[in-house]
Structure formats: structure tokens, C-alpha cells
Amino acid sequence: ADKNNIYIGKREGSTYIPPSGSFAIFEPGIDIGNSVPVYTTFEFTQIPEWIQVSQEKINQLQVLVSDINLTDEATMPRLFATIKNNSFFVIPEIDVVAILYDANHNAISASRTYLDQLVFEEITKEIIPMYNIFLVQLK
């Protein structure tokens, strides 16, 4: 909805929810015209199918993100990050989502890149383009 609480769009789909911690749901290309979104709602449209995973298995799957660096903020913003699969497994179909926050902790930009897979002990350096950050002060 926008600042006047006017409905500006809807998306439906499915996602993966990790067993703990925070996570992002990235939905690209929503046409909202000239509206400025202020908030969104998220709801289950049917009963979710929960899969129980042991803490031991969760602990075996470790993806580390480091060397996060935002460059060219004034011209063509790009976020660089190093991602390492620190587990013994091949991890398929990874969405890498970056969210930039302003000084008031409001999300002002989000972007995503996709990895087909990340094999065990593999390190990849990702470049994620960022959008619409020119008019705000970043934190």
C-alpha cells in the first residue's frame, strides 16, 4: 500500500523459509506506476507444509558472506560480496539478496543475484547492482 493506505499491487507464489533467523522474500518487477510503497503484507493462502529438519543438519549447512562493499553510490551503485559454502554439501539454486537501509533503518533498495549452485568449499565473488539509492543517506 502507499502512504494513503491505497492498494497498489499483489503477487502470489511460493518460497523457502529457513528454520531460524531472518530472511528476505524478493519479488522483482512489480509495476506500481507512480505510487511509492510504504508497507506490504505477507500471508499464507493455504496451510503451509512444514518439514522438520534436525539442528544437526542445519549446523552442517554453513554459507558465509564477507567482504561486503558498496561502490559507485553516486553513479552506478554496485554491491560486492564474497560468498563461501563452508559445508560439505553442494547447495543448489541460491538467491543472494542484498537490502540497503537508510539512516532510519528503512529499506530503500533491494536487489538479487542467482547462483545455479555452490559446491562445497567454493568461494564466489558476486556483484549485485543496486537501484534508487541516490536521494537518501545510507547507514
Torsion of CA 59, 27, 125, 118, to 10 degrees: 50
Around 90, how many Cα atoms within 13 Å sit in the side-chain half-sphere?
A: 5
pLDDT tens digits along 21-77:
788 888 887 788 888 888 888 888 899 888 888 888 888 888 889 998 888 877 888
Question: How much is the pLDDT for 58?
Answer: 81
All structural domains of the chain with their residue ranges:
55-129
- Closest by CA to 14, choosing from 41, 53, 51, 42, is 42
The residue ranges of DSSP E strands in 27-75, in sequence order, are 63-71
Q: Are 74 and 134 in contact (CB under 8 A)?
A: yes
Amino acid letter for position 136 = V
More confident residue, 85 or 18: 85
Res. 139: pLDDT tops 70: no
